[in-house]
Amino acid sequence: MSTRLLLLLCLFGPIPAKKPPDVDCQVMNLKYVHCSWNNMNTPDVNYTFSSWFKNDPETYCVDYVFANNTSIGCNQPCKVIDRFYTFHTVLKHGNETYRKEHYLKMKVKLNPPSKLTVKNESDFNLWFYWNQTRCVTSQVRYRKNNNNWELSNLPDDSQKYTINFPSSNSRYELQVRSKVSEMCGDSKFWSDWSEPVAWGFNNSTETIMLNEPMSVWTPVIYVVGAITLILLMLLLLQRERLRIILVPVVPKPSLNSPDVEDWFQFSKGLMKEGFKANYNEQACPVREYTYVSRFDSNSSDTSDLSDTTNQTDCSVFIGMNESEDP
């Protein structure tokens, strides 16, 4: 029997001892403690988890985290002050029990800042604003035109950041993360980066939502909009067709005709002769006309008197008949 055991050991080597699961805990946003025991690998069995803070009774987990139908973690509620106390955990399966103590003061992870906005204020600077809990320190990173990120640390409880005199031809993108400040106990864990907010090119504000699922109403709105547009086009074409049939289009006379003769019922030759100016007429100056009477005393007969007076340069003949009483 011993010979067979030695032979098996030589062939397969020593059988490694089973390592106990390592429980790791972290305070999440100062609201609950998240513990996990799958850091090495996924356990083969479902463990029972219980925990408590100093001077508190032991509490069994009611909110397990599963992977492939196997429990790999637990979320336990807590108070803000609880992180300053020792946290005890117990992991059991059958006769196996694993106990551990945790010190969570430096193991706090906050949620990322929310509601990031950007404004181009009257001082010609670009201001970024966000919401977050108090007693935290923040760090921002921004980049210009998709270049490398630049990091900046902000004072405690700061909720704004400025970029001086931004270029309207550039695109600025900014993200924020935070952690508990040293004045409130400090933490070695930063929150995740917030959703980025961008400004630039057309001076517009854009919040980039990463991995956001499309709303179920979005395709419906697109389809309804397309159908409405098609119906409006058909209605417009039908109305135009009816208007042409019922009210024929009357030709509009052109007021820019090159020949004014087209407006009259005369031949072009007659129109040109009639409107042709003649500047070759002889000038005819006119002077005042004076009547001269001649009376012959030796004659008893009354005769017609005539006088031709050339008082113009045009040789105009002027005649008058005069009768006298006997």
Classified by CATH at the fold level, domain 22-108 comes out as Immunoglobulin-like (2.60.40)
pLDDT class for 29, splitting at 50, 70, 90?
very high
Strands 108-109 and 24-28: parallel
- Say yes or no to pLDDT of 267 above 70: no
Nearest Cα to 63, choosing from 73, 52, 53? 73
Closest by CA to 71, choosing from 97, 36, 48, 46, is: 46
pLDDT greater at residue 299 or residue 54: 54
> Residue 134: CA atoms inside 13 Å, Cβ hemisphere, count?
0
Cα–Cα dist 118/313, whole Å? 99
Would you state the pLDDT for residue 299? 46
Confidence of residue 234 (pLDDT cuts 50, 70, 90): confident
DSSP conformational letter for 232: H
Structure tokens at 136: 């935290």
**pLDDT (mean) for 180-198:** 92
User: Is the confidence at residue 303, as pLDDT, over 50?
Assistant: no
* Per-residue model confidence (pLDDT) at position 175: 95
Buried b / exposed e along 137-158 (16+ C-beta atoms within 10 A):
bbbbbbbbeeeeeeeeebeeeb
Strand ordering across the sheet containing 171-180: 150-153, 136-144, 171-180, 197-200, 204-207
DSSP summary character for residue 39: S
Which residue has tokens 């993360």? 177
How far is residue 124 from each of residues 169, 171, 175, 179, measured CA to CA in Å? Answer: 14, 16, 21, 31
Q: What is the pLDDT of residues 100-156, one digit of tens each?
A: 999 999 999 999 999 999 988 888 889 999 988 888 999 999 999 989 999 999 999
Q: Residue 113 burial (CB < 10 Å; 0-12/13-18/19+)?
A: buried
Q: Using 50, 70 and 90 to split pLDDT, how confident is the model at 302?
A: very low
- Domain spans of the chain, in order of start: 22-108, 110-207
- Torsion angle defined by CA atoms of residues 255, 258, 264 and 268, in that order, rounded to the nearest 10 degrees: 180
305, pLDDT greater than 50: no
Q: What is the rounded distance in angstroms from the CA atom of residue 143 to the CA atom of residue 171?
A: 8
**What gap in Å lies between CA 85 and CA 124, rounded to an integer?**
49
Nearest to 187 by CA among 109, 87, 133: 109
Residue 306 has pLDDT above 60, yes or no: no
pLDDT band of residue 24 (cuts 50, 70, 90) is: very high
Strands (DSSP E) contained in the chain are: 24-28, 32-36, 48-53, 59-60, 64-67, 70-77, 86-93, 96-103, 108-109, 114-120, 126-131, 136-144, 150-153, 160-163, 171-180, 197-200, 204-207
22-108 against 110-207: fold identical: yes
Which CATH topology does 110-207 take?
Immunoglobulin-like (2.60.40)
Average pLDDT over residues 223-239: 85
pLDDT of residue 232: 85
Side-by-side strand order, sheet with 108-109: 64-67, 70-77, 32-36, 24-28, 108-109
> In whole angstroms, what is the distance from residue 81 CA to residue 102 CA?
15
pLDDT attached to residue 196: 92
pLDDT tens by residue, 50-95: 999 988 999 999 999 998 889 999 999 999 999 999 999 999 998 9
Q: What percent of the chain has pLDDT over 70?
A: 63
